[in-house]
Amino acid sequence: MKIAVASGKGGTGKTMISTSLASSLAGEFPIRFLDCDVEAPNAHLFLKPEIKETLPAVILLPEITMELCTLCGICVEVCEYNALAKVGTKILVFPQLCHGCGSCTLQCPVGAITEYPRPIGTISKGVTDDNIIFGMGELTISEPMPTPIINQLKTQFHNNDVVTILDSPPGASCAVVATIHDADFVLLVTEPTPFGLHDLKQMLGVLSETDTPSGVIINRDGIGDAKVEDYLAEQSIPILMKIPYQETIAEGLAMGHLLTEIMPSYKSEFTKMFQQIIELSRQKETP
Amino acid sequence: MIIMISSQGNKLEDLADPRFGRSQWFIRYDTQDDTWQAFENQSIYQRGGAGISSSQFMMDNGVKAAISGSFGPNAHQALSAGGIEMYTFDDNQQSVQEIIKAFQTGSLNKFN
């Protein structure tokens, strides 16, 4: 079971929800937690794992052997990201634009392209006191491509027999799609503001493409307006939880505490919500 | 000599476009016989690397000088490697025709 926690808008409380959900379920199920927000990972500040191992995360870049190259230009044509250019009698590679997809290598008719790894960040593995297996990707500052790290992180920790919780980056771009595309359920965290609603709609647009079941948590309930709730009712999208806006929560989070440590009553709320998530993803399987 | 100017429209009277990779049109102009042709820039539909694919378009069309408001680092690298000279204009309110005249009188800035 893979549950991805995403939002659209940044700062709505993804990490608060994902870490507290993981911690609430930790006694009952084997849990893996993957911090896929590789540009600003922070779940470790709340779950406090002991990091046992840190590996380099790499992107595979093409290298062209000009002695073999016939300058046919197929590699330039197949590159979706314009990372290659045919210039006179040379093929130029622009490493910062390369997504490491390997299309050029596969399509080269004369085998003139080989791949070499370029480090772009790290993957850390650890475990928490309550036995959550913890993984985190971290993109090196100035590197533009988060998706290869997210994919490697997910491959390294792949296990269908456990409950995996993926803390997604904000937004609705490639990095989010890389995180959520194979999830069994996407938990969307939003806030009742025009920004929250706008970005939530973008995420629902992404999910309509992947056809993944989803539900919404409204965080900071009580601020803003009722438009998020109206919209969700209109679209028949379930609201799984509402967390009121309270300064004590903000203060506790700023100290690095989990929501379930600040307000222990939430533990049973998260356990209940997990049952609801299982139910909702089953309904989707058998329409 | 074949030159190509980034343009906001497909006519010589239209304003030149200060953006290179994301300009709407490119005007290919032959200074030898004063013939010209407008091309819609396909790179504007791409999510990334527009400067590089625009540079590739210049190279594939035998251009010797590219003219725009500025050139990004990737376009600069690609055009330099392809031996295409780059020229820039400061005034964004000039037509393509005026820019061509400025190029011919040598009053554009060479971009290195």
Name which residue leads in pLDDT, A48 or B46: A48
Q: What is the mean pLDDT of residues A273-286?
A: 88
Pick the CATH number of B2-111 from 3.30.420.130, 3.40.50.1820, 3.40.1080.10, 3.30.465.10: 3.30.420.130
Render pLDDT for A248-258 as a digit per residue (tens, 0 to 9).
999 999 999 99
**A97 in reach of chain B (CB within 8 A):** yes
Interface with chain A: mutation pick from B44, B47, B52, highest number of A CBs within 10 Å:
B52
Residue extents of the structural domains in chain B: 2-111
Residues A136/A33, Cβ–Cβ less than 8 Å: no
Average pLDDT, chain B: 94
pLDDT-derived band at B6 (thresholds 50, 70, 90) equals very high
Contact (CB<8Å) B49/A76 = no
Q: Answer yes or no: do B83 and A81 touch at CB < 8 A.
A: no
**Touching check for B47 and chain A: CB below 8 Å?**
yes
pTM of the complete model: 0.80
Does B73 touch chain A if contact means CB atoms closer than 8 Å?
no
Any idea which residue has 């806006």 for tokens?
A245
Reply yes or no on whether the pLDDT at A284 is more than 80: no
Are A273 and A241 in contact, with CB atoms under 8 Å apart? yes
Give all domains of chain A, ordered by start, each with its CATH number: 2-48+129-285 (3.40.50.300), 58-119 (3.30.70.20)
Q: What percent of chain A has pLDDT over 70?
A: 99
Helices and strands (DSSP H and E) totals, chain B = 3, 6
Size of interface A-B (CB pairs under 8 A): 44
Q: What is the pLDDT of residue A122?
A: 97
Residues of A in contact with B47 (CB under 8 A): 81
- Distances from the Cα of A231 to the Cα of A11, A162, A171, A237, B11, angstroms: 21, 34, 19, 9, 47
What pLDDT sits at residue A287? 53
A90 touches chain B (CB under 8 A): yes
Sort out which chain B residues have CB atoms less than 8 A from A83's CB and list them: 49, 52
Using a CB-CB cut-off of 8 Å, the residues of chain A touching B50 are 82
* pLDDT (tens digit per residue) in B44-93: 888 889 999 999 999 999 999 999 999 999 999 999 999 999 999 998 89
Q: pLDDT of A75-99, one tens digit each? A: 999 999 999 999 888 999 999 889 8
Q: What is the pLDDT of residues A97-140, one digit of tens each?
A: 898 999 999 999 999 999 999 999 999 999 999 999 999 999 99
| Tens digits of residue pLDDT in B7-52 | 999 999 999 999 999 999 999 999 999 999 999 999 988 888 999 9
Interacting residues of A184 by C-beta distance below 8 A, sequence separation 6+: A1, A2, A3, A212, A213, A281
Please indicate if any CB of chain A lies within 8 Å of the CB of B83. yes
